[in-house]
Chain A
């Protein structure tokens, strides 16, 4: 394979050698690359919530609202990040079964998964999950409902800010609404391989 490396890099060097000059890197303007109305927004949570709703996600600000949503859907068996559960358990009725360890042999047993967000992007209604901050990747992906717990100060305005704030983590994923496809006749269907419901739960400090 090291032969191939030399061969490819050699060909690339040979291809570029005759160029009289190389194209410079343009200095592009962040302000022009951000959706109108984003940087003017006063309340980032309000903007985030509006944009999340626009992609069929669900912004919530209180645990009882989450419990009501889960009960209405009949989703009573789930997974919760062990670090978050002590804060939430007091508000979950006894009818719920919540595990704090995700058993990958039973992925379909979990109807909801609650994990911590590493951030959020108001411009697009996006939740940011990082590997170090997410207790388990499957717990945030396999259940029908994913709930990301978010703090107000974690929200950034736009994509350039979110890129600048990318955590030093081997894996960061931006999640913008529920999993979807339009492969069959262009018809939008949610919940393909990932969650059919994507919830952002804003909690104080």
Chain B
């Protein structure tokens, strides 16, 4: 029986990393739960509404996408469409070239990770600098984020301090405050020298065309205060119908993500800077990215597109807590990633067909999800698909079920087996040659095998 790659990963994971991820996720999860309980009469209802709103958006994207495009254009933004990751990267590159820019400051955006934007621009002689502290650390280490909200959850302060020292950001100092101040100093001139500021969008209102971008550090605001050109990369699923709906989503997002009432900076952007404002972009470009989303919309797992990337399902997941993000070999880890990553892989689905099995199906992910995604159901659908498509990764680590399947699929054999099972009642279980099993049965009484009795009862009942 081949081992699942996630099991191989965890066996090699240093104990201290595992402990760091476990502690970090558990604390955030517990604070989140307490906050929602304290602040709202019925937070469960809020997340069900939020889920229904997103489902409505997804099922009406054919109306909302052209609507938001028209709004954005009326607001003075230029709208671009990218069907694939390559098209999205090329669109960004073209805008930078047209703008005469070679340097970009980037706020945290998962879609830019997904499309591989920074390496794409670097290969073409451009600088794409991460400004979120965690993402900055990831970038200088040539690492990958292991959590969608806390990218360096897997690193401790000593590792970060060594990286800063290596990059010439000062002598070794592992005080988190010193690390933060050094990043602040280092990045200030970078913002001012950059021609382009790049952000994602947490939400886009189809009604007004407002993009909503939230950050705690203020890096997205700086990226929209110093550079003269703003590019926003937006997945086509990010829409909400009305501005009004944003109140519900913003109340849920920060509490779910970081156990805050509201993220520190919540920015509503509907166009280039106002007349008279000396700072900020004169040009605004919005790139709507598909990259596999429309295919997901066409399938039976479209609910995953409701995801607002809060990370609550990562923090609560017993599997994520043990294995951490890199085990998922994808931009999106955790329960949401176990669904989304194989789907986004498109024709390479088989390579990630093991991910839906990285779950105990305990259901905690759906319980905490602010948009109530039925993640366990979706995981089961993808397991099924993996089996049907005979993906080797979907079978790895699964006990052989062939004999059982043979019995269960043929009524006559099944009935015979049920009756034959009575033999078990006469087995000398106290003499099992495996010591551990013998110890186990010594203290327990196994129920008698009563296979076939229910069928007999049914037959008699029908007769009478």
Contact = CB atoms under 8 A, between A and B. Distances in A.
Interface in B14-71: 20, 23-24, 27-28, 38-42, 45-46, 49, 52-53, 55-56, 58-62, 65-66
B217 A181 contact: yes
Contacts of A108: 188
A26 B49 contact: yes
Contacts of B271: 170-171
A130 B276 CA distance: 12
Interface string A137-177: 11001100000000000000011101110100111111111
Interface in A107-149: 107-108, 123-124, 126, 130-132, 134, 136-138, 141-142
A183 B133 contact: yes
Nearest to A163: B247
A36 B258 CA distance: 20
A7 B42 CA distance: 42
B66 A194 contact: no
Query: Interface SS of chain A: helix, strand, loop or mixed?
Result: loop
A184 interface: yes
B39 A36 contact: yes
A35 B243 contact: no
Nearest to A160: B247
B75 A170 contact: yes
A86 interface: no
B268 interface: yes
A5 B286 CA distance: 13
A34 to B, nearest CB: 8
A72 interface: no
B222 A28 contact: no
Contact of A192 (B76, B133, B247): B133
A19 interface: yes
A35 B133 CA distance: 30
B309 interface: no
A180 interface: yes
Contacts of B117: none
20 contacts: A4-B82, A5-B81, A8-B81, A9-B65, A23-B59, A28-B248, A131-B277, A137-B273, A141-B221, A141-B225, A170-B272, A171-B270, A171-B274, A171-B280, A172-B267, A181-B134, A183-B152, A186-B27, A193-B222, A194-B264
Interface of B: 20, 23-24, 27-28, 38-42, 45-46, 49, 52-53, 55-56, 58-62, 65-66, 75-76, 80-83, 87, 91, 131-134, 137, 150-153, 156-157, 160, 176-177, 179-181, 183-184, 187-188, 191-192, 210, 216-219, 221-222, 224-226, 236, 241, 243-248, 250-251, 258, 260-274, 276-280, 288, 290, 294-295, 297-298, 302
Given A170-B274, A179-B216, A189-B176, 9 more contacts: A2-B81, A5-B81, A108-B188, A136-B279, A141-B218, A141-B225, A169-B274, A192-B180, A194-B218
